[in-house]
């Protein structure tokens, strides 16, 4: 008879975690359990996620929540959903108040993120990138679609290309737009630290950096940038774009489905490519212009650095494997009905009753059991959260 195994200490939620965001001091966290609700937890001890206290449940979306971002300065939470709605949440009078983002879109949202200052944000829908801001006149949050305008080129000037990349001609151009006017799906977008530029990635492998200057928000700080939606740099990778991000100094990063990472210096109109030997990178977290963390489909967290060339400096999740004998009569079952249970069934599908095997295996705490959906750095610790609901801490 199968026995019920004890719950792993680092398994936080049986339902799994699809999106997650921490507040500034990592005392609270907002997350979604692959549904339409936002859960606010108080973090009492990172080593004991099963002891975290549920404070609030926010219920305004009606479909899957696809994006969450808790701003460290304003303490506001930005959320978006497949139901084509987006909200800005503020904690006032001991409760979370929501403000609807006024935006017109006929497709659901795929992702969202604040800018560094908390004055603007960007969101991706099935066919456009939205730049949001607070309209001081109307007193509500508004979203404006980026409508791209080509930058005026000097006579004789030609567009520069990456060191390893060549542009391909086809049915779609490198701005992420199909001939005929329609847009390719915008998967990810991020506003730079100055709040004047936005990098976006598309399913047609296009990457572009555009101006997102808004006079009412940016005042005269734009300098030479005083327009909205001007394409400043564009190029094409060889797979759809999985993630984009910025360093503090305005160097952009992008990763694609073909296991390639682009490092973009758009002000000098150039970019470099890293050809990874591992699975595609789903998240990039720059430490500086010459160093960044990557999270990939193989559930590994790697630190890349550049001396003469880019290379992996450290595999954060790498630990020694231990050889151990597994004897299976009736496998312990941890019943969840969710992702963790599905993974167990898959991993045990090749084992038959009363069979004994000897294999090299990794301990449970050596790697996340599912694709990593959340990543954060708190002091000298790295926090990873996966689709199965596990929360793990790693040394930097």
Domains, in order of start, for the chain: 19-150+165-321+373-395 (2.130.10.10)
Secondary structure of the chain in HEC code, one letter for each residue: CCCECCCCCCECCCCCCCEEEECCCCCEEEEECCCCCEEEEECCCCCCHHHCEEEEEECCCCCCEEEEEECCCCCCEEEEECCCCEEEEEEECCEEEEEEEECCCCCCEEEEEECCCCCEEEEEECCCEEEEEEECCCCEEEEEECCCEECCCCCCCCCCCCCCCCCCCCCECCCCEECCCCECCEEEEEECCCCCEEEEEECCCEEEEEEECCHHHHCCCCCCCCCEEEEEEEEECCCCEEEEEECCCCCEEEEECCCEEEEEEHHHCEEEEEECCCCCEEEEEEEECCEEEEEECCCCEEEEEECCCEEEEEECCCCCCEEEEEEECCCCECCCCCHHHHHHHHHHCCCCCCEEEEEEECCHHHCCCCCEEEEEEECCEEEEEECCCEEEEEEC
Does the predicted TM-score (pTM) go above 0.85?
A: no
Q: Tens of pLDDT along the chain (396 residues)?
A: 444 445 555 667 767 889 999 999 999 999 999 899 999 999 988 778 878 899 999 999 999 999 999 999 999 999 999 999 999 999 999 999 999 999 988 899 999 999 999 999 999 987 789 999 999 888 899 999 998 877 665 544 444 444 443 333 333 443 445 443 345 889 999 999 999 999 999 999 999 999 999 988 887 655 567 789 999 999 999 999 999 999 999 999 999 999 999 999 999 999 999 999 999 999 999 999 999 999 999 989 999 999 889 999 999 987 644 443 433 334 344 444 455 555 555 555 544 443 433 333 344 445 666 788 888 988 888 888 888 888 888 888
pLDDT score of 7:
53
């Amino acid at each position: 008879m199968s026995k019920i195994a004890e719950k792993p200490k680092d398994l936080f939620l049986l339902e799994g975690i699809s999106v997650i965001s921490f507040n500034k001091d990592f005392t609270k966290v907002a997350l979604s359990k692959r549904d339409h609700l936002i859960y606010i937890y108080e973090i009492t001890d990172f080593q004991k996620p099963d002891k975290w206290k549920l404070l609030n449940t926010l219920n305004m979306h009606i479909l899957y929540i696809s994006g969450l971002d808790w701003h460290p300065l304003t303490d506001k939470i930005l959320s978006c959903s497949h139901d084509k709605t987006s909200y800005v949440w503020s904690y006032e009078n001991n409760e979370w108040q929501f403000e609807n983002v006024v935006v017109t879109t006929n497709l659901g949202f795929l992702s969202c993120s604040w800018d560094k200052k908390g004055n603007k944000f960007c969101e991706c829908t099935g066919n456009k990138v939205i730049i949001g801001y607070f309209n001081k006149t109307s007193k509500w949050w508004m979203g404006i679609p980026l409508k791209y305008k080509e930058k005026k080129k000097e006579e004789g000037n030609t567009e520069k290309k990456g060191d390893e990349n060549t542009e391909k001609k086809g049915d779609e151009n490198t701005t992420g737009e199909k001939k005929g006017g329609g847009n390719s799906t915008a998967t990810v977008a991020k506003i730079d630290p100055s709040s004047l530029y936005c990098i976006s990635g598309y399913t047609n492998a296009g990457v572009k950096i555009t101006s997102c200057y808004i006079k009412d928000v940016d005042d005269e700080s734009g300098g030479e940038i005083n327009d909205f939606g001007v394409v400043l740099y564009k190029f094409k990778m060889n797979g759809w774009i999985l993630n984009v991000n910025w360093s503090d100094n305005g160097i952009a990063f992008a990763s694609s489905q073909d296991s390639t990472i682009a490092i973009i210096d758009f002000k000098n109109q150039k970019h470099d490519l890293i050809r990874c030997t591992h699975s595609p990178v789903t998240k990039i977290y720059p430490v500086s212009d010459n160093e960044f963390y990557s999270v990939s489909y193989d559930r590994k967290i790697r630190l890349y650095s550049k001396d003469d060339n880019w290379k992996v400096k450290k595999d954060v999740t790498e630990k020694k494997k231990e050889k151990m004998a597994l004897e299976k009569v009736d496998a312990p079952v941890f019943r969840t009905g969710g992702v963790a249970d599905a993974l167990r069934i898959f991993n045990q599908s090749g084992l038959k009753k009363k069979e004994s095997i000897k294999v090299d295996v990794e301990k449970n705490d050596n790697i996340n059991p599912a694709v990593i959906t959340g990543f954060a750095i708190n002091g000298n610790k790295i926090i990873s959260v996966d689709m199965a609901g596990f929360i793990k801490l790693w040394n930097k």
